[in-house]
Amino acid sequence: MTLQEKIGQMTQAERSAVTSDPTQITGLGLGSVLSGGGSTPTPNTPSAWADMVDGFQKQALATRLHIPLLYGIDSVHGDNNLLGATIFPQNIGMGATRDPALVREEEHVTATETRATGPQWVFAACDCVVRDDRWGRTYESFGEDPKLVEEMETSIDGFQGTSPGDLARPDHVLATSKHFAGDGDTAYGSSTTGTYTLDQGVDITDWSHFSRIDLAPYVTAVQDHHVGAIMPSYSSVDWTEDGVGNPVKMSANKQLLTNVLKEKIGFKGFLISDWQAIEQLPGDYATQVRTAVNAGLDMFMEPYNAAQFEQTLISEVQAGRVPMSRIDDAVSRILRAKFELGLFEHPYTDRRNIGTIGSPAHRAVARRAAAESQVLLKNADHALPLKPSQKIYVAGGNADDIGNQAGGWTLTWQGSSGDTIPGTTILKGIEQDDPNVTFSEDASKPMNGYDVGVVVIGETPYAEGVGDVGNGHTLDLSATDQATVDKVCGAIRTCVVLDVAGRPQIITGELPKTDAFVASWLPGSEGEGVADVLFGKRPFTGKLPVSWPRSESQEPINVGDPHYDPLFPYGYGLTTRAVSH
């Protein structure tokens, strides 16, 4: 391989950048292309996806060495860029299920639907340990306890399989543990830009805490589950042992990327940078590239400047500032993954499973996941389960909004409210059990004569730092939600509230007005799974994956803290028995 061919393998461009000129893939010898959140072909159909990826693959195979292309995508709760894909509860809800086997099944379904449409590599699952629920990526975490996150690394098994040869099969993809490490453990308000961003912030920490809380899941991801790729975090680590004040970005952290992760823990896969993450490093672009490569990054998500990246790194190697041994190590890791995926033998999309996308069998798995993710926090006078004979009044902004119940990373990067994807809303699920339900989103319809009111409140979609508290969000209920709860719970004898949100909201003031309260998280496309537990078709079994604060000022609040006094503790959840109707 020439130096340019080697460095081409280390370069990843965005779909949109190469769509305008696919010959770039051949010209640059690109090793990979990605779809960022919401970067989809038109039309957004399974065959259009597979045709697009195969078109790029054709370009890659036209190079001198015919090295096949890796296509990466954020399938973080299903193949969520694809319209019609099965959309699962976000990870925080999957953490609430305490069901590792179900998480494995979820990711096997996701791998099947993803690979059938072309991408052979997912930037999932997040092995982040969320320690401050004000973080906009709280819902991407399985929870605040690293042991729970480790238990849910069956996600990697679901994605990759566990037997030799599984990765080459059409129902498996390469997985990525992210974001290494401590992305969910940043100090609030620490941002150097002065704004309160938790996302991409700074861990002010010591080795004992960092290794126990933030690093531990990566040891198991590598040593027990053999994850194929790892994505370093945008965040930084600032060691208190060295005297706070010297934060080092993960993408530049040779001690953690190479000495700890690759050499000590034994990671044999490859490190993929986050989106333009190296451009946050100190110095000019050549310094950023050199620092990141020498720190141990292997492939570079440089969505729109692949050519500049390649040229810069070639110059750095030729100037002797990046050793060829580092390039050879990176390329070997990347090529090994392509061999294990079977791409040299079968570079084009195996479409045999395209018919399973959004199938009843796949949706049944997501429906069970939605049901198991529900956490019952209060159930006075056995308000739940509901009985179909009851006269039910449903209200609230998240009762009939599938976009809100899916959350971010759904069709678009930030997600959006409304009737965005096929599936069932929570209201539609309730109506299947009791067609006589009255729905009034703002509770403006008369409420006399009803046995029970169900109010579905919560958040609207966001992703990453956009969702950070301090970036236009709080943990408080919206005024509209509070008003709807007050209205319905003030008028109807029995009142059940569901909170459809990516994280705990502050409910201390509203809770006493309710008879039952359910943490629904972001249940995905199968809202009828929520109705299943409301009507007792399935029992409530979910347990809190994060501590539920009394007030925002309690954050960060985590199990094991001294003076731990949440509204509901980590692991809390009432159970009910399934009832036959």
User: Judged by CB under 6 A, which of 22, 27, 36, 84 binds ligand GLC?
Assistant: 36
Which C-beta is closer to ligand GLC: that of 83 or that of 533?
83
Binding-residue total with ligand GLC (CB under 6 A) = 7
Query: CA 80, CA 450: separation in Å to the nearest integer?
Result: 38
Q: Quote the least distance from Cβ 249 to ligand GLC, whole Å.
A: 13
The residue type of 265 is I
Say how far residue 578 (Cα) sits from the centre of its chain: 30
Q: Are 70 and 122 in contact (CB under 8 A)?
A: no
List Cβ neighbours of 389 (8 Å cut-off, separation of 6 or more): none
* Set 79, 145, 464, 510: catalytic member: 464
Q: Collapse the DSSP code of 312 into the 3-class scheme (helix H, G, I; strand E, B; otherwise coil) and give the result.
A: helix
Distance of CA 72 to the CA centre of its chain: 14
Min dist CB 40 to ligand GLC, Å, is 13
Residues 277 and 317 sit within 8 Å (Cβ to Cβ)? no
Which single residue brings its beta carbon nearest to ligand GLC? 123
Closest CA to 423 of 524, 531, 522, 525: 525
Q: Which of residues 120-139 bind ligand GLC (CB under 6 A)?
A: 123
Tell me whether residue 35 or residue 97 sits nearer to ligand GLC (CB atom). 35
Q: Which is nearer to ligand GLC, 88 or 393 (CB)?
A: 88
Q: Shortest Cβ distance from residue 413 to ligand GLC (Å)?
A: 7
Which residues from 478-537 bind ligand GLC, rule CB under 6 A?
none
- The reply on whether position 400 binds ligand GLC by CB under 6 A is no
The one-letter amino acid at 499: D
Tell me how far apart the alpha carbons of residues 243 and 320 are, in angstroms, rounded to a whole number. 33
The two tokens of residue 482 are 């509070």
**273 versus 520: smaller Cβ distance to ligand GLC:** 273
Is 407 one of the binding residues for ligand GLC (CB under 6 A)? no
Closest separation in Å from C-beta 96 to ligand GLC: 21
Q: Which of 178, 249, 338, 368 binds ligand GLC (CB under 6 A)?
A: 178
Q: Are 199 and 464 in contact (CB under 8 A)?
A: yes
In the complex, what is the shortest distance from the CB of residue 581 to ligand GLC, in angstroms, rounded to a whole number? 42
Return the ∠ at Cα 571 (arms to 153 and 150), rounded to 5°: 15
Question: Among residues 121 and 450, whose Cβ is nearest to ligand GLC?
Answer: 121
Considering only 29, 31, 37, 158, the residue that binds ligand GLC (CB under 6 A) is 37
State the minimum distance, in angstroms, from the CB of residue 126 to ligand GLC.
7
441 is catalytic: no
280 vs 287, beta carbon nearer ligand GLC: 280
Q: Cα dist. 366→102, 358, 373, 417 in Å?
A: 9, 10, 10, 20
Order across the sheet with 270-271: list the strands.
176-180, 229-232, 270-271
Q: In angstroms, what is the minimal distance from the CB of 250 to ligand GLC?
A: 12
Residue 367 makes contact with ligand GLC by CB under 6 A: no
Q: Give me 112's structure tokens.
A: 């099947």
Q: Which of 57, 74, 145, 343 binds ligand GLC (CB under 6 A)?
A: 74
Residue with tokens 């490859």: 270
- In the set 105, 153, 185, 274, the catalytic residue is 274
Task: By CB under 6 A, tell whether 77 contacts ligand GLC.
Answer: no
Interface residue with ligand GLC, options 107, 145, 151, 274 (CB under 6 A): 274
Q: Are strands 375-379 and 516-519 parallel, antiparallel or unpaired?
A: antiparallel
Cβ proximity to ligand GLC: between 122 and 289 the closer is: 122
Closer CB to ligand GLC, 301 or 317, in the complex: 301
* Residue 179 CB, nearest approach to ligand GLC (Å): 6
Nearest distance from C-beta of residue 428 to ligand GLC, angstroms: 31
Range 32-35 contact pairs with CB under 8 angstroms and sequence separation of 24 or more: 32/69, 32/70, 32/71, 32/72, 32/121, 32/299, 33/69, 33/70, 33/71, 33/72, 34/71, 34/72, 34/73, 34/123, 34/301, 34/303, 35/71, 35/72, 35/73, 35/74, 35/81, 35/119
Asked if 274 is an active-site residue, the reply is yes
Residue among 267 and 450 whose Cβ is closer to ligand GLC = 267
Q: What one-character DSSP code corresponds to residue 303?
A: T
Binding site for ligand GLC (CB under 6 A): 36-37, 74, 123, 178, 274-275
Active site residues: 274, 464
